[in-house]
Amino acid sequence: MSNFNPANRGISPHLPFGDQRAAPWYGKDILSVKQFSRSDLEYIFGVAHEMREMVTRVGTFDLLKGKILANLFYEPSTRTSSSFTSAMERLGGSVIPINEVRYSSVAKGESLPDTIRTLECYADVIVLRHPETGSAAQAAQYARKPIINAGDGIGEHPTQALLDLFTIREELGTIDGLIVTMLGDLKYGRTVHSLARLLSLYSVSIHYVSPEILRMPKEIIDELPRTMAQAEHTTFDPVLPLTDVLYVTRVQKERFTDEADYESVKGSYIITPETMKAGKEHMIVMHPLPRVGEISIDFDNDPRAAYFRQMEYGLYVRMALLAMVLGKA
C-alpha cells in the first residue's frame, strides 16, 4: 500500500482501542526485510511474545474481530498459508482463502494488479505468494490495503525470516554473538536470502555451505556490511563444531531449468544423529520446511531439532504482523 491515508479516501477507521492511525505500523506493507531496523525487530518480537502468551492463556481473542484477510497463493504452501489463516482466526478475524488460483479469474488471464484491486474491495489486508521476484512490491503499488509478501519467487520471504529470528531469540535467548551456518540451496532458497539480510542487523558470523552451483548470490553477500564475517564452503564438517544455529534448506527443485543439474546436487548434505555428534550440545537445527530428505527423521527427537517448534513461533509472528498493519498493536 503506497501512502495510504484512510482519511483522504473518506474511510472512517474503526477506533475501539484508541486511534489506529497513531499505531506505527498501521496500513504498512511488509514487502522485504530491508524495511526493518533493529528496533523494529525488537518491537515485532515483543508483540509476538505477547501473542504467544495470549494463545497459551486463552487460545483465541477478538483483537481483529470484523477484519478480513485475503490469502492469495499462486504457489504451493502449507505452513505460510495455514499459519496466516490460524493467526487471523485466533485474533477473531476471518479469511478469504485463494490457494488454487487455477480456480479463480487468474485462470482467465486476469492480471495481478486487477486481482489485487478486486480482493481489496472485500478484505482489509492481503497476503500474497507469487512465483515472480518483485511481485509483492508490484501489488503494493496498486493496492490501498496492506500487502504482506509471503514469498516472491527466489526473491524474499520476509515473514519467514522474522519467524526464524524470533525462533533463535526464544530458543537461545540472544542473537548477538552467534555463529549461524546456512546449508543447502542458498541460490534459490528465498528464506536464506531474507534471513542473511536480517542477521546483518546483529553481531553474528555466517557460514554458507552449499554445492558450487547453489552458492549464496554474490549480490547478497556484497550487500551485507563488511564488518559481518561471512565465509563460503562446499563441505560441512569443518563448520559444524563451531555452529550455534544450523539452518538447513531443501534443494528447490521447481526453480531448476535443467533436471540433470537438480539430480547432481540433491542429497548433497544429509543431517542424521550420526553427523550431529560433532555439533555442540547447546545449539539448534532449523529448517523452513518442507524437508525432502535433508534431515533424517531419526534426528527429530533430538532436543536440538527446533524445526517443528519453529513453525509454532511462526503463528505468533504472523499474529503480531496482522495486528500491527491493521493498527491494533
Instruction: Enumerate binding residues for ligand ASP (CB under 6 A).
Output: 151, 157, 190-191, 250, 252, 288-289
Residue among 80, 33, 325, 51 at smallest CA distance from 202: 33
Of 181 and 194, which has the nearer Cβ to ligand ASP?
194
Of 129 and 328, which has the nearer Cβ to ligand ASP?
129
Sheet containing 94-98: give its strands across.
94-98, 68-73, 125-130, 147-152
Of 157 and 318, which has the nearer Cβ to ligand ASP?
157
Minimum distance from CB of 72 to ligand ASP (Å)? 15
Minimum distance from CB of 266 to ligand ASP (Å)? 13
Minimum distance from CB of 220 to ligand ASP (Å)? 15
Rounded alpha-carbon distances, angstroms, from residue 215 to 86, 182, 324: 35, 10, 35
296 Cβ contact partners less than 8 Å away, ≥ 6 residues apart: 270, 271, 272, 273
Q: What sign for the dihedral angle of Cα 131, 133, 139, 142?
A: negative
Minimum distance from CB of 192 to ligand ASP (Å)? 9
Of 146 and 151, which has the nearer Cβ to ligand ASP?
151
Tell me the angle at which helices 307-325 and 38-58 cross, rounded to the nearest 10 degrees.
100
Of 220 and 228, which has the nearer Cβ to ligand ASP?
220
